[in-house]
Structure 1
Amino acid sequence: MVLDSTAIVTGGGRGIGQAICVRLAQKGADVVIADLDSAEMSETKRLVENEGQRALAVETDVTELESVQDTVDTALDEFDEVGILVNNAGIAGPTDPCEEIAQEAWDATTNVNLRGPFFMCREVIPIMKEQGYGRVVNIASVTGKKPLLNRTPYAATKMGLIGFTRTLALEVGEHDINVNAICPGSVDGPRIRGVFEQQAEATGQTYDTVRTEVENQSPRNELVDREDIANTTAYLCSDEASRITGQDINVSAGKVMY
């Protein structure tokens, strides 16, 4: 499996995004790291270049159309083409009952988790159509398929992202552009640990109790590793997955099976 293309990965500075950047580089892709944190992007850039591929770090605010346009233009100027887009940037949003959630918190969550992928696809899809080839992977969540207590903004955006994925796949399939979503379960790392802390505070439980309860939702009694998501992303971007489009694929250690 060789990816002879250029990939834009939003939220590529750390966590799942960084793992995706490195894995795509290992498979032969040059990588545009689109993020807001310059220090984290610099580290990802170093890791990509260590794999022998070219890397470009571009400060990007996915909620602002002009910033997205500048990022895509920069990618084209540097690499001449964009064959892969991974919409990974996302935020967890508040952990509160619906009636206690401020409008600002709702807007912030929807702006990053839904408007961001829309803006990125809006700018990249015409390029892919002209090339006659493209792969789009949206990082959704199993929360796009099952409820998560006190997380209405997050759940709404991830369910919305699955609908966006299916509809866009229908629109662009004739141009050899595949659009898929990955639905991770709870991925171990700083972000989910922060969510566990919020949930523990909201429910009056200990952090360890919350974490164990989440782990036990999987028949394997474990969280997902970020490399699991990176591996699936690389596969979906390869020619080996050329007949897979419009799908939302669980990588959840069995937490969700539909």
Structure 2
Amino acid sequence: MLSDCTAFVTGASRGIGREIAIAFAEEGANVALAARGEGIYETADLIDAPERTLAVETDVTDSDSVTDAIEETVETFGELTCLVNNAGIAGPTAPVEGIEEDEWLETLDVNVVGIARAVKAAAPHLREAERGSIVNLSSIGGKRPYPNRGPYAASKMGVIGLTRTLAYEFGDDGVTANAICPGPVAGERIERVFERQAEERGVEPEVVKDEVRSSLAIRELIEPEEIAALAVHLAGPEGRHTTGQDINVSSGGAWY
């Protein structure tokens, strides 16, 4: 149970972030639903526990927006004990020579610097918590080749490096920091990735999807609820001594 937990979940308007927010709420946590889109209000309706949810529009590329959202969370619930950094973008789909500098900068800004902004704003509250935790969403794309996805792969490896550093910076205060590395997760986002990859290669999306599935030990896409269950574990009492780890949920798509 997470009845003593107040979590701030970025990217909570849909997909993995929505499922994480719902899973935390089901375990009794207070949950701040943070994202740019209005989907956070739909997520709040799905949770249907207004006394334990706060929908707060947040842009992880804007330090003031992040700071204000976290402060509103603390004012509402009296604490912040868990930060889930799920907000991210897929970035461009092209070989490296076809990617513009601004596309690199945007992907790194959202996927890596966005986490740093949230951690900086949340740090004093997490350090004060009896059981503080940081859960970052990385990807097996930071561990294995992702052709035509250079900015995304680089950003997700960056998340792993940042997570390991945070584990040591926060360890003296008993705050854990871990990264979850999903493989291909079923949903609208991965379907869009398949479409862009197919367009780049001049094939049908189903060809790309079949290739991805065939690269996995268990030839199935991952369900977002599986990622949410691991996030709950890492934030809960059973995850108290798990820190500095990058944990794959990938159907065997990565081996380290």
Same fold (TM over 0.5): yes
Amino acid at match of 2:44: K
Rounded Cα–Cα distance in structure 1 between residues aligned with 2:48 and 2:116: 29
Amino acid at match of 1:209: V
Amino acid at match of 2:26: Q
Match for residue 43 of structure 2?
44
Report the CA distance between 1:133 and its aligned residue.
Answer: 3.1
Write out per-residue CA displacement over residues 16-70 of structure 1, whole angstroms, 9 at most, x where no aligned residue.
00000000011110110010112x11110112225x8611111100011010111
Write out per-residue CA displacement over residues 177-235 of structure 1, whole angstroms, 9 at most, x where no aligned residue.
00000000000111110000000011111111100110111111111100010000000
Is it true that 1:128 corresponds to 2:126 in the alignment?
yes
Gap change, CA 1:228 and 1:31, over 3 Å in 2: same
Report the CA distance between 1:139 and its aligned residue.
Answer: 0.3
Select the residue among 203, 213, 224 that pairs with 1:215. Answer: 213
Report the CA distance between 1:2 and its aligned residue.
Answer: 3.4
Select the residue among 194, 202, 205 that pairs with 2:203. Answer: 205
Rounded Cα–Cα distance in structure 2 between residues aligned with 1:129 and 1:144: 28
Amino acid at match of 2:48: E
Specify every segment of 5 or more residues in structure 2 that has no aligned partner in the other structure, as ranges. none
Gap change, CA 1:21 and 1:44, over 3 Å in 2: same
Match for residue 235 of structure 2?
237
- Is 1:106–1:153's contact at 8 Å kept on the other side of the alignment? yes
Write out per-residue CA displacement over residues 56-98 of structure 1, whole angstroms, 9 at most, x where no aligned residue.
1111000110101110111011011000110000000000111
How many residues in Structure 1 have an aligned counterpart in Structure 2? Answer: 256
Amino acid at match of 2:153: A
Rounded Cα–Cα distance in structure 2 between residues aligned with 1:20 and 1:3: 15
Match for residue 31 of structure 2?
31
Amino acid at match of 1:196: F
Match for residue 115 of structure 1?
113
- Is 1:8–1:33's contact at 8 Å kept on the other side of the alignment? yes
Select the residue among 178, 188, 197 that pairs with 1:180. Answer: 178
- Is 2:2–2:24's contact at 8 Å kept on the other side of the alignment? no
- Is 1:215–1:221's contact at 8 Å kept on the other side of the alignment? yes
Rounded Cα–Cα distance in structure 2 between residues aligned with 1:131 and 1:26: 21
Report the CA distance between 1:124 and its aligned residue.
Answer: 0.6
Match for residue 167 of structure 1?
165
Write out per-residue CA displacement over residues 100-127 of structure 1, whole angstroms, 9 at most, x where no aligned residue.
1112211111110011100000111111
Match for residue 4 of structure 1?
4
Amino acid at match of 2:235: C
Select the residue among 152, 155, 172 that pairs with 2:153. Answer: 155
Rounded Cα–Cα distance in structure 2 between residues aligned with 1:132 and 1:35: 27
Specify every segment of 5 or more residues in structure 1 that has no aligned partner in the other structure, as ranges. none
Rounded Cα–Cα distance in structure 2 between residues aligned with 1:93 and 1:187: 16
Match for residue 15 of structure 1?
15
Amino acid at match of 2:8: I
1:87-102 counterparts in 2 under 5 A?
87-102=85-100
Rounded Cα–Cα distance in structure 2 between residues aligned with 1:85 and 1:48: 19
- Is 1:25–1:53's contact at 8 Å kept on the other side of the alignment? no
- Is 1:48–1:54's contact at 8 Å kept on the other side of the alignment? no
Gap change, CA 1:3 and 1:156, over 3 Å in 2: farther
- Is 1:4–1:29's contact at 8 Å kept on the other side of the alignment? yes
Rounded Cα–Cα distance in structure 2 between residues aligned with 1:11 and 1:252: 20
TM-score by length of 2: 0.97
